[in-house]
Amino acid sequence: MRVRVPANARHWAAFEHRTAPLLDRIAFMRRMLRFAGVAGILVAGSLLLGILGYHFICGLAWIDSLLNASMILTGMGPVNEIVSTAGKLFSSAYALFSGVAFLTIVAVLLSPLAHRILHRLHLEMQDEGAGKER
């Protein structure tokens, strides 16, 4: 079943159509800030998940949990040695999750910029095509 969205409804992540003009700089900056906010929420949620897991599953102190979660999330690697089997399983799962989360967060952060570049190139190609027809 498809849900119908009214034509005038705007989604927070909606990009302009390929035939629409390029957004002005202020609107583009607002879009970048909105996507940066979403990326920040994803980072905070991922970090919170790691902190809670390292604290309750691995038995690390809060500050050590923060350090390990931060290091794993940024791809640096673990700091403290994990000795329990449950802790090792969590650490492994969190490392895999962190790799995917990092790529997702970067994609969310850079998608408005990538869209703007592709949109500008498309508009330039349309202008060149229109000039040849005349």
**Domain residue extents for the chain:** 27-124
The domain made up of 27-124 has a fold known as: Helix Hairpins (1.10.287)
Provide the whole-model pTM.
0.79
Per the structure block, which two tokens stand in for 6? 């009214």
Residue with tokens 């570049």: 117
Per-residue pLDDT, 94:
97
**Mean pLDDT of the region 22-28:** 87
What is the model's pLDDT at position 134?
45
Q: How far is the C-alpha of 102 from the C-alpha of 106, rounded, in Å? A: 6
Residue 41, pLDDT above cutoff 70: yes
| 51-102: pLDDT as tens digits | 999 999 999 999 999 999 999 999 998 899 999 999 999 999 999 999 999 9
In whole angstroms, give the CA distance from residue 72 to residue 28: 32
